[in-house]
Chain A
């Protein structure tokens, strides 16, 4: 399966769009007509063919352009990629996880050859051919986590496990929904989830932490999270709020279908073998409202979810200024018919 990589932008002229195939494989996050927090964690098992969860690491038509956008973010702000010294073993674990998975599932694009510690990595879409010694950072052009994640879609955080908690001690974060790695570095699981409303009282984080502390090697898990973004901008960071915050005031009934995007994060967690750390991947998918309503079930359902969303969540997700306009747009695509259970298109 050869992917046709698109040439598009996630800033300035915003030429990003989804092909019809990319729309059909979009990881729509609502399996019913309303939304509330849940510890919606499931095994990260292979999903249906061609879906976003068919393989553990999903590479799609936006790969080359997303990697170009990541390079621009890192050039402007190197602190988007940080790692504390004790995370070096976890960095190498991540190199192995990503290279093995990409080479296995996309052999026409990536090749990994291992001869003991001598590794040979070929990335055809990005025209990279690298021989290096696994475990010896001096043999790569940049530190191992940065090296491999400049070549893999999704943000990645490496969580150290100690004292019955998880600590955000390394990561690369350039496609985030308004949170900052630089701010969260060194915090533990309870600290970095501090700002989330409602969920603490529901005990969501206590249960999630307990679950993750026992996450097993060979048994990765995943969950979906979502928000909405005006313009297809990957880097909606607090650091750049002055650039994108004002976008929220630009939505009109005329442009809402093109400007407003559902932003879904496919979050996955793996226990890493050598380091006992956990890698937390946050893969961002964007879809325009006018693309989303081409799947009738999704148009109906998103209308109902947005219309009935609790006010705390509307504010927390930053939807306040454009929610009503979006609901009005989606109402035109909701004939009131019942929707089938589950995420997938009918």
Chain B
């Protein structure tokens, strides 16, 4: 419960959108309408694998007009700890999952005069929702969507159909790149930029924004991290008096939950800060993978974000 209200759902449709992306339609098991949410929101999907419970965040693409279903898009990742593989291989129409209430850590800035939406690959999912909301509100916007090739443009046709010439597509196989130095200058004052995609792309776009003299507060990115795996290590929860192991394919937070401790979380992507936990001692090196703690805080070793960070070493003792 420490992640908030949970909603039991059933998979009612699956669409193979590209060779590596599936879109899942989820409906509440009790038939009730799913909650409204603002564009850019995600839910955390809990999957019961054979030996453990995996929880991954996925952006909401849309909610059906009658409120009966949400859609999420899942990329089959190479270095999956099991979440995306589970969704692609184990989940079928009729499968039961649990989701959290929507949480928005990538909101539109409603004071913006114009909005530049930039997506790479599966990063298109929140961008898709944002474009819909901006179109509904008749606010100025542009969409720039980069994909590997035409077969991998999971949302290209739908975006063009819905947003027409506001969409610009870029194909890696045609050596088309998002020319940030051409797009960013000459935008109206008060324009906000939102980018979601691979880490390298996000960094390049944001660097381009800064180089063009944009204020930091007009540049927005969602860097959801799939929690990376690593070597296994011993974990002791000092207050609970529990000793357990974090497996190679498990996140620290998942190991805490598997030990029966109800620890706080929200995004499970290293962004929100909710799972910040005090480190009592670490026999080894803390591997900080989050975007929440400052460099100084990371260097001090006093805190760790359990959703994406872990230990490279023997034993970690947490104040839980």
Contact = CB atoms under 8 A, between A and B. Distances in A.
Interface of A: 86-87, 89, 160-163, 210, 214, 216-219, 273-276
Given A86-B111, A219-B4, A276 B38 contact: yes
Interface string B33-77: 001111011000000000000000000000000000000000000
B109 interface: yes
Given A163-B217, A210-B273, A217 B35 contact: yes
Nearest to B111: A86
Contacts of B111: 86, 160, 162
Given A86-B111, A162-B111, A218 B35 contact: yes
A161 B41 CA distance: 13
A163 B110 CA distance: 11
A160 B38 contact: no
A214 B101 CA distance: 12
A219 B266 CA distance: 12
14 contacts: A160-B110, A162-B107, A162-B110, A163-B217, A214-B266, A216-B5, A216-B266, A217-B103, A218-B4, A218-B101, A273-B35, A273-B38, A273-B102, A275-B38
Contact of B101 (A87, A217, A276): A217
Contacts of A214: 103, 266, 272-274
B150 interface: no
Given A210-B273, A273-B37, A273-B102, 4 more contacts: A161-B107, A162-B217, A214-B273, A218-B4
A276 B130 CA distance: 13
A317 to B, nearest CB: 33
A284 B260 CA distance: 41
Contacts of A216: 4-5, 101, 103, 266
Contact of A219 (B5, B109, B273): B5
Given A163-B217, A273-B35, A274-B38, A217 B102 contact: yes
Given A217-B37, A276-B104, A86 B5 contact: no
Given A214-B272, A217-B37, A276 B107 contact: yes
B109 A162 contact: yes
A160 B107 CA distance: 11
Interface string B90-122: 000000000001111001011100000000000
Contacts of B110: 86-87, 89, 160, 162, 275
Contacts of A161: 107
Contacts of B101: 216-219
Contacts of A274: 36-38
Nearest to A96: B36
Interface string B1-44: 00011000000000000000000000000000001111011000
Nearest to A160: B110
Contacts of B40: 276
Nearest to A161: B107
A214 B4 CA distance: 11
A89 B35 CA distance: 16
Nearest to B106: A276
B40, B104, B110 — most chain A CB neighbours (10 Å): B110
> Which 7 residue pairs across A and B have the least CB separation, nearest first?
A86-B110, A273-B36, A276-B38, A218-B5, A216-B4, A218-B101, A217-B101
A156 to B, nearest CB: 18
Interface string B232-273: 000000000000000000000000000000000010000011
